[in-house]
């Protein structure tokens, strides 16, 4: 997440979508962080054939420290 796109006065979203890979430690940590922060999320599983680099845990953790 880029801080430039997060409105400081925006209300909490009803639901968040998270792209996940099976057995990914990063995905497990991201989902736990969202749950701990009280966010409902929809997990969108990516197949192993999808080789694109998906990231964002570092940005999510950084944002979460500001959101609390």
Angle at the Cα of 13 from the Cα atoms of 25 and 41, rounded to 5 degrees: 30
Q: Encode the chain (68 residues) as per-residue pLDDT tens digits.
A: 455 556 667 677 777 899 988 888 899 999 999 999 888 899 999 877 766 667 788 888 988 888 66
Q: What's the rounded Cα separation, in Å, for the pair 46 and 66? A: 29
The answer to whether residue 9 is domain-embedded is no
| CATH number, residue 36 | 3.40.30.10
Q: How many domains does the chain have?
A: 1
37, 12 Cβ separation under 8 angstroms: no
- Beta strands, E only, the chain: 16-21, 41-46
Range of the domain at 44: 14-67
């Amino acid at each position: 997440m880029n801080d430039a796109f997060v409105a400081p006065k925006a209300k909490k979203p009803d639901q968040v979508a998270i792209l996940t890979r099976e057995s990914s430690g990063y995905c497990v940590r991201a989902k736990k962080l969202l749950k701990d922060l009280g966010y409902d999320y929809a997990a969108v599983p990516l197949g192993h054939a999808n080789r694109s680099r998906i990231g964002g845990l570092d940005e999510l953790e950084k944002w979460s420290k500001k959101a609390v």
